[in-house]
Structure 1
């Protein structure tokens, strides 16, 4: 390959990688390509580093200069996430929460230190073992289809939610905690297959609309949203909520996590810590977090508007 052609190839590849990192939303939805790239966006560092190694090995100065752009873009996007941590410390009103896609044989027994636990993929086969593990310390239970919510504190106003799948696979409940009411959404959004993302996208839009209309001061979304933190489709939901995690917090697949479809999203809380746990029997790891309740600012007795 002549030097000129080689350098153009390196530059074009670098521009492509930089564009994917900075503007994945511009990709067409056709075939699920946007969702695929968005879900695995942090892994674009690998081809960028390989491109740099090849450019170095072939002595292409233009190639090395060009590959700086996608590596810099990756650093701007993800280095802050890697070094940022929750506030830390402790609080007397802290609330520990967790969410777990149970998979075929999970029981969530390793999550019993959490006061509120959301589970997905609850079936007739695993329901008895999940109940045996969680009921003793979490006597307040609500289930809808394959989704369940276990709590140490009373559940009120439990509502089945059909997010557009034709059956309920989500619920909303008010939890009477020692520090006040918390509205919790236990959610399992539409499944995703390569080339088939409309079900997920539709349920995500419906959930976003519900959250935008929910005036609760303290709110949790716990569940498998079938979309990664880096997926552009999630941005409309996280615009008004905090995505609680430490680092990239990958959860799937459990053996070697590559992306994060499982989420803890909050409003009205300050994260004190966040972890991802490996739990036996599931192909998903479980996000957990400790949250401190923020003081609710009101004016003339009215709740503040969502911003």
Structure 2
């Protein structure tokens, strides 16, 4: 169809119809903008609010779809409307894609965290891939059997401690360690003090309660319990490694963000999604901190597990 024919067709279109052209796209753009800005106002009934919070970064995918629809409708008004959610999304999440301001210079300690997956057929291969990045400390969750992990770590990490299904492997001596109650009825978290060369570092390795569709109460309670424990901890320098079963955009995460910094947000690039491992759509795995300066943060795709690993570097 030639440009002249398009113009003639548009000119022959009734004025009322031309006025309504693109109205569906405009409406969708306004609704998308409202959801981006007000996702935490969605009632958290049966975990709905938490779910919407967690997928909010992915709502940006709606922008190019609406832009394409506006082009197909040949509507300038619709195209202008699509700019609104685009600008809001960029304001909310665009910073995550900027190069981090911090550099690796001066990094004193490198940490990593990995959910191994219960029933992992080859956990040694999983942690072996992670150890290849040479972190100083490795926190593990869903550890079925430490002895299956030991062949890949024991030589480089002579110090270890574990509680139930969480474990910490360290290049440096561990001064003390004990289980941490997060309200599950059994300890699925530990606290250890590591004698790092620059000074003592308190490390939590944590696997919080699971969140399921329609049921987030247990997860929410464990987040609150962990926040209460961290708030009362007198340690000057502290890191939390683990699968917290919640995204940073989730309102349930707020008790922790009030107390701790997020290494990925401060020293990483991108959202750092970790789950599911093949096509990550959210980030339940975290490295949180206080009393340190993050220098690096990233994600490592390891084999035989359903979570990607998270890493971070810090200087004193």
TM-score, scaled to structure 2: 0.86
Residue of structure 2 aligned with 1:217, choices 213, 236, 243? 236
1:17 Cα offset (Å): 1.3
Tell me the alpha carbon deviations over residues 130-158 of structure 1, each in whole angstroms, 9 at most, x when there is no partner: 12211222122111111111111122331
Residue 120 of structure 1 corresponds to: 141
| Partner SS for 1:23 | helix
- Mapping of residues 283-302 of structure 1, within 5 Å: 283-293=306-316
**Which position in structure 2 is the counterpart of 1:263?**
286
Cα offset, 1:8, TM superposition: 4.5
Q: CA deviation at 1:2?
A: 5.1
What is the CA-CA distance between 1:30 and the residue it aligns to?
1.4
Partner of 1:302: none
Partner of residue 165, structure 1: 184
Report whether the alignment pairs 1:48 with 2:63.
Answer: yes
Unaligned runs of 5+ in 2: 1-15
The CA deviation at 1:53 is 1.4
Q: Distance in 1 between matches of 2:101 and 2:279?
A: 24
**CA offset at residue 110 of structure 1?**
2.1
SS in 2 for 1:163: coil
Aligned to 1:68: 83
Look up the match of 2:130.
111
Aligned to 1:96: 110
Equivalent position of 1:297 in the other structure = none
Which residue number in structure 2 is paired with residue 133 of structure 1?
152
CA displacement at 1:11 relative to structure 2: 3.2
**Aligned residue number for residue 279 of structure 1:** 302
C-alpha distance in structure 1 between counterparts of 2:136 and 2:89, whole Å: 36
In structure 2, distance between residues paired with 1:147 and 1:5: 59
Q: Distance in 1 between matches of 2:113 and 2:290?
A: 17
Render the CA deviation track for 1:103-135: whole Å, top value 9, x for unaligned: 1233311232111110001013xx322122112
Measured in 1, the distance between the counterparts of 2:180 and 2:19 equals: 59
Instruction: Select 1:185's aligned residue among 196, 200, 204.
Output: 204
Give the helix-richer structure, 1 or 2: 2
Contact kept, 8 Å, 1:86 with 1:273, in 2: the verdict is: no
Most deviating of 30-39 and 3-12: 3-12
Aligned length: 290
What RMSD in Å do the two structures reach over aligned CA positions? 1.9
2-side partners of 1:139 and 1:64: how far apart? 60
Secondary structure at 2:190 match in 1: strand
| Residues 1:153 and 1:256: Cα distance change in structure 2 (over 3 Å) | same
